[in-house]
Structure 1
Amino acid sequence: MSRERIAAGAAVGGALSVQVGAAVGATIFPLVGPAGVVALRQAVAAIALLAVARPHLRRLHGSSVRPSVLLGLVLVVMNLTLYGAVERIGLGLAVTLEFLGPLAVALLGSRRRLDLACAVIAGTGVVLLTGTVPGLDPVGVLLGLIAAAAWAAYILLSQRAGRTLPGIGGTAVASLVAAILTSPLLVIALIGLAPQQLLHVAVVGLAAGILSSALPYSIDLIVLRWLPRPLFGVLQSVHPAAAAVAGLVVLGQSLGPWQIAGLVLITAGNAIAVGRAAPAAAPPAPLGTGEARALG
């Protein structure tokens, strides 16, 4: 089995982990709200990743740590807007809108017809998922689109952070930045909760943090060293399908026939991309000077 195919399978597994964790985290919205869930996720992710990565302080100089700091900022925006959208329009639709970010990365950056074809198939599924739902909350839609732009930036910065810091050091630093920025939200969310509620929030937050942040962010950082960015963007098409299923099973959010058809197309596009991944594909080329300036 080729390295690229293994990486593609890992990317799909990471996507499934994200959406199960997101659904689990959404169950404590009534207690801590979307912002509280995001803060919990980031705190858990930072503790877990720093314990594993143990980045050397001598290596954390300006040029090496800058992409990770920017990645931390993007994580905050991406997660706050996504959970805000989930609260308003449901997990499946929120993640479907967010998927427009990696889909755009796939369409704009691909040089292979296969990637473009898979992106079109998955994009058609996105249209079926969103276009068949009447009366969508416009604020929820806007938050989902902001999350999409942040997700596209996340892909670019994860790749850059993976090159400047070894192992999962880039993800660990990014999670620490995100945890620091969201820590006031966590304090506010926990004020006034009873001891039993605090215990429940802590357990759910731990599960959501590991499943939705620590594990998949580490997978993405490593996978982006092996996969071309466009192919990685196509593989993210599993997110809307995984989110819709997780929303149904965990949160009881039902799906209509057209939405199910959309999920089938999204899954098909993803399966084709994984199954036909080129064995000899080269790792992504280093960023050009102009792109490095734009991201740095």
Structure 2
Amino acid sequence: MRSLGGFATMTASAASSQFGAAVGAHAFATIGPAGVVAVRQLVAAAVLLPMARPNLRSFTWAQWWPTIALGLVFATMNLSLYTAVDRIGLGLAVTLEVLGPLAVALGGSRTRRDALFVLIAAVGVYVLVLPGPSSDYVGIGAGLLAAACWAAYILLNSLVGARLPGLQAPAAATAMSATLYVPVAVLLVLHGKLTGMSIVYAIGAGLFCSVVPYAVDVIALRKVPARLFGLAMSVHPVLAALAGLILLGERLDVHHWAGILLVVTANALAVTCSKWPGSPTVQREM
């Protein structure tokens, strides 16, 4: 029952993330993906910094460099994901992004079983995008870049988790990422775009994509195994597709749903059969 409750809680967290992404997408026309990311990162930093209170002056270089790398990953991951959402839709973008955790779960494996998972995922991606002259390769590339960033995020979090206590590294990295987007926010303010519903949607993305999932996961993930966390993460593409349908009017074709199902299946099998690096508490997109 405890594991079932933890899984349900993390599924609710995933639903919050995808709902927030759909809410943020409503601001793309006014402030663009970069504007939404800027506000989202500022909101996340405003929550994490007072909570973690990282002692930056005491950081050594061995602690600083992975924290800096993590901040760059945050900045790139969110922008690439939202660019993909803007171009190819929420469901497809998140499905491609989930390939990152899948790659980490299967990294270094040489077994036939894991090779089968890779094949299932590859077929799923092909069915999902059906490459052709009309394909949005920029959007697909942005989704794959987000996947690479999520993989790097997991590995870096495993590293900083061993070198810094608590949430000091994620908080410092989030603040760095937010700082990189301050010029974007300033330009939007100067042009009078960061007002009205655009700022409401962007703040909503920050709350539902970062603050709410973090508050939920920090409790639930301490009580469940990493593999159960990975299994819960596998529902993100399905929830993203549903959020896109309900909130954005994104209707997917049969081949899209088939591709999502194949990628979700591959990821669910991989994370339940493979060993994840690090603690489950850090396998979270900020």
On the 8 A contact 2:105/2:270 being kept in 1, the answer is no
How far 1:233 moved relative to its partner?
6.0
Partner of 1:103: 102
1:43 and 1:236, CA in 2 relative to 1: closer, same or farther beyond 3 A?
same
1:83 and 1:117, CA in 2 relative to 1: closer, same or farther beyond 3 A?
same
Amino acid corresponding to residue 31 of structure 2 in structure 1: V
Partner of 1:239: 236
- Mapped to 2, the partners of 1:92 and 1:234 lie a distance apart of 18
The answer to whether residue 90 in structure 2 is matched with residue 91 in structure 1 is yes
Equivalences for 1:176-215 in 2 at 5 Å?
Answer: 176-193=175-192, 198-215=195-212
Structure 1 range deviating more: 123-132 or 95-104: 123-132
Q: Per-residue displacement from partner, 1:219-261 (whole Å, max 9, x unpaired)?
A: 48x9599866x88666543332222111111111001122223
SS at match of 2:203: helix
- Mapped to 1, the partners of 2:11 and 2:116 lie a distance apart of 18
SS at match of 2:186: helix
The answer to whether residue 79 in structure 2 is matched with residue 80 in structure 1 is yes
Equivalences for 1:31-180 in 2 at 5 Å?
Answer: 31-57=30-56, 59-109=58-108, 121=120, 124-131=123-130, 135-180=134-179
- Mapped to 1, the partners of 2:54 and 2:109 lie a distance apart of 33
- Mapped to 1, the partners of 2:277 and 2:141 lie a distance apart of 32
- Mapped to 1, the partners of 2:238 and 2:58 lie a distance apart of 39
Unaligned ranges ≥5, structure 2: 280-286
1:167 and 1:14, CA in 2 relative to 1: closer, same or farther beyond 3 A?
farther
- Mapped to 2, the partners of 1:232 and 1:50 lie a distance apart of 25
1:157 and 1:121, CA in 2 relative to 1: closer, same or farther beyond 3 A?
same
Q: Give the CA RMSD over aligned residues.
A: 3.7
Unaligned ranges ≥5, structure 1: 287-296
1:159 and 1:63, CA in 2 relative to 1: closer, same or farther beyond 3 A?
same
Amino acid corresponding to residue 258 of structure 1 in structure 2: H
- Mapped to 1, the partners of 2:27 and 2:99 lie a distance apart of 27
How far 1:11 moved relative to its partner?
5.5
On the 8 A contact 2:90/2:240 being kept in 1, the answer is yes
How far 1:145 moved relative to its partner?
2.0
Structure 1 range deviating more: 166-175 or 27-36: 166-175
SS at match of 1:167: coil
Partner of 2:249: 252
On the 8 A contact 1:159/1:225 being kept in 2, the answer is no
1:243 and 1:110, CA in 2 relative to 1: closer, same or farther beyond 3 A?
farther
On the 8 A contact 2:77/2:145 being kept in 1, the answer is yes
SS at match of 2:192: coil
How far 1:272 moved relative to its partner?
5.9
Amino acid corresponding to residue 35 of structure 2 in structure 1: G
Query: TM-score, length-normalised on structure 1?
Result: 0.76
Q: Per-residue displacement from partner, 1:41-81 (whole Å, max 9, x unpaired)?
A: 10000001112212234543332233222111011111112
1:198 and 1:13, CA in 2 relative to 1: closer, same or farther beyond 3 A?
same
How far 1:109 moved relative to its partner?
4.3
1:53 and 1:81, CA in 2 relative to 1: closer, same or farther beyond 3 A?
same
- Mapped to 1, the partners of 2:278 and 2:209 lie a distance apart of 28
1:130 and 1:282, CA in 2 relative to 1: closer, same or farther beyond 3 A?
closer
Structure 1 range deviating more: 55-64 or 93-102: 55-64
On the 8 A contact 2:68/2:176 being kept in 1, the answer is yes
SS at match of 1:78: helix
1:214 and 1:112, CA in 2 relative to 1: closer, same or farther beyond 3 A?
farther
Q: Number of residue pairs matched?
A: 278
